[in-house]
Amino acid sequence: MYRPFAIIIIIFLVLNTLVGCSQSNSSGQLQKVGLLVYDSINDQVWGTKGYQGMLKIQSEMDVDVFYKEGINTIEATERTVNEFVENGVNLIFGHGSEFAPIFNTIADQYPDVHFISFNGEAKKDNTTSLNFEAHAMGFFGGMVAGEMTKTNTVGVLASFEWQPEVNGFFEGALFQNEEVEVKIQFVESWDDKETALLLLDKFINDGVDVVYPAGDGYNVPVIEKLREEGLYAIGFVSDQSDLGEGTVLTSTVQHVDVLYELVAELYNDGKLESGNLSFDFKDGVISMGQYSSSVDLKFQTELEEYIKEYTESGLLPNQIQ
């Protein structure tokens, strides 16, 4: 899923992480697009998804796109935004909640630029925050964990307490299996691999046999260790079945690339709203990933029926009378 980056990155490195892909042929408001990534586009989870979104915009809309990694300070953000604007960029994605307050601060300096962040609070007319309705995806991931656990003990290894998928996973696991115990630990970072692996050791010692690693930089190492231990994982953000079909039962997938293109099209058509916008299964930007052959086909069918009902009604299985 991720291997095509190698060829493309070689081409792009000519411009030292500030990348232009094609001549802009947009017929609407969109001129060029920029992406700020807090850490790396090579994490195989969140950063990678943002980069794929840029490639989708470039491919489908035939406009120049730029990106820059390691933008993790206010000064770096301001400097890169200015570079982008000097290159004609008028739609800028800050790939994370970290960028929302900075964009609110600097937005007035660039009235002809629209700033996009994720899971934050957009307060200016030319700022928008995109929010995935992660509670539901966590719920359905939790159902899989509750179904597949052999020890009746599952765990969420989340980055932060505010993540909606944490409570969702808890509720889904209990809906599917009233006997299950759900353990929760917080890494307090998206990327701290060392802490995540220490917390995973605690899970394993406590008998947890299905783990939902809801973070970015530590997600893959956690799944790799679970594979070594013969335990199960629920993948996060990307379809992570390629990390071990027998280990990754399924994944809660956020189709960031699809959302990026949707937002770019809305902006191009003059229809992009400011403020905080939410997206869910019904918008085609969240889905379950590939199921492991370990997951019973009857249960897969039942789960997909629940997802269909939720998509149509907005009600999770535990909310239906």
> Which of 38-42, 68-72, 108-112, 197-201 is predicted least confidently?
38-42
pLDDT band with cut points at 50, 70 and 90 for residue 216: confident
- Asked if 162 and 191 count as a contact pair (C-beta separation under 8 A), the reply is no
309 and 139 Cβ atoms separated by less than 8 Å: no
| φ and ψ of 200, to 5 deg | -65, -40
Given a cut of 50, whether residue 97 has pLDDT beyond it is yes
Same domain flag for 119 and 162: no
Q: What is the pLDDT at residue 49?
A: 87
Residue among 169, 34, 132 nearest 90 (CA): 34
Q: How far is the C-alpha of 38 from the C-alpha of 71, rounded, in Å? A: 5
More confident residue, 320 or 266: 266
Residues 123 and 179 in one domain: no
212 plus 305 within the same structural domain: yes
The C-alpha atoms of residue 155 and residue 183 are separated, in whole angstroms, by: 5
Q: Does 215 lie in the same domain as 102?
A: no
Residue 292 is given by DSSP the state: P
Total Cβ atoms within 10 A of residue 194: 11
The three-point CA angle 263-267-269 to 5° equals 120
Instruction: Give the tokens for residue 107.
Output: 């937005």
- pLDDT for the residue numbered 111: 96
Q: Is the pLDDT of residue 317 over 80?
A: yes
pLDDT tens-digit map of 182-196: 999 999 998 899 999
Q: What is the pLDDT, as a whole number, of residue 44? A: 79
**Confidence at residue 27, expressed as pLDDT on a 0 to 100 scale:** 55
pLDDT band at 321 (very low <50, low <70, confident <90, very high): low
Question: Mean pLDDT across the stretch 292-316?
Answer: 97
Q: What is the pTM of this model?
A: 0.83
**Which of residues 19 and 218 earns the better pLDDT score?**
218
pLDDT of residue 221: 96
Q: Do 62 and 92 sit in the same domain of this protein?
A: yes
pLDDT of residue 320: 86
In terms of Cα–Cα distance, which of 9, 79, 72 is closest to 37?
Answer: 72
Mean pLDDT of the chain: 90
* 210-214 and 32-36 strand pairing: unpaired
The confidence band for 9, taking pLDDT boundaries of 50, 70 and 90, is very low
Distance in angstroms (rounded) separating the CA atoms of residues 92 and 136: 28
Q: Which domain holds residue 190?
A: 134-254+291-319
Task: Judge contact between 86 and 78, C-beta under 8 A.
Answer: no
C-alpha 249/C-alpha 240 separation (Å) is 9
- Place 211 in a pLDDT band, splitting at 50, 70 and 90: very high
Residues 150, 85, single domain; the answer is no
Greater pLDDT, 20 or 41:
41
| Gap between the terminal Cα atoms of the chain | 40
Statement to judge: residues 100 and 196 lie in one domain:
no
For residue 197, give the CATH number of its domain: 3.40.50.2300
Q: By the 8 A CB rule, do 164 and 133 touch?
A: yes
At 65, is the pLDDT very low, low, confident or very high (cuts 50, 70, 90)?
A: very high
- 298 in the same domain as 276: no
Predicted pLDDT at 293: 96
In this structure, are 190 and 310 located in the same domain? Answer: yes
Do 116 and 152 share a domain, yes or no? no
pLDDT of residue 45: 81
Using an 8 Å Cβ cutoff, are 288 and 140 in contact?
yes
The DSSP code for 209 is -
- Are residue 174 and residue 266 in the same domain, yes or no? no
Q: What percent of the chain lies above the pLDDT cut of 70?
A: 91
Tally of domains in the chain:
2
Residues 203 and 151 in one domain: yes
What one-character DSSP code corresponds to residue 317? G
Tokens of 105: 């601060």
DSSP states along 6-31: HHHHHHHGGGTT----S----SSS--
pLDDT at site 6: 37
